[in-house]
């Protein structure tokens, strides 16, 4: 399994980095490739399983809206944030 593969028990997941701006998705999980400290920070900002997220932009960074919070993620992180459409 490559580093960019979703967990094997979740077949319908897509990396957040591949979602077009304007699309709402639900957070499925944070990939194990994300550093534990960064994972804690993302959780503190409200990234929780099944939380609705709206992608605002993908360049130069992935910017999402999680409820009232705008969050900018580097693509190296966004490609390991797994979402459901």
Q: Where are the domains of the chain?
A: 14-84
pLDDT digits (tens, 9 = 90+) for 12-37: 999 999 999 999 999 999 999 999 99
Q: Which fold has domain 14-84?
A: SH3 type barrels. (2.30.30)
Q: Please give the Cα distance from 30 to 82 (Å, whole number).
A: 6
What phi, psi does 17 have (nearest 5°)?
Answer: -65, -15
Neighbours of 60 (CB within 10 A): 9
**First-last CA distance in the chain:** 23
At residue 5 the predicted structure's pLDDT band, cuts being 50, 70 and 90, is low
List strand residue ranges (DSSP E) for 6-59, in order.
14-15, 24-30, 52-57
- pLDDT tens for each residue of 46-82: 899 999 999 999 999 999 999 899 999 999 999 999 9
């Amino acid at each position: 399994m490559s580093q960019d593969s979703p967990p094997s028990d979740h077949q319908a997941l897509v990396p957040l980095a591949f979602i077009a701006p304007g699309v709402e998705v639900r957070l499925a999980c944070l990939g194990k490739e994300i550093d534990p400290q960064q994972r804690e920070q993302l959780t503190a900002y409200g990234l929780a399983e099944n939380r609705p997220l709206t992608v605002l932009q993908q360049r130069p960074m992935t910017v999402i809206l999680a409820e009232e919070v705008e969050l900018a993620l580097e693509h190296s992180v966004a490609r390991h944030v797994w979402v459901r459409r």
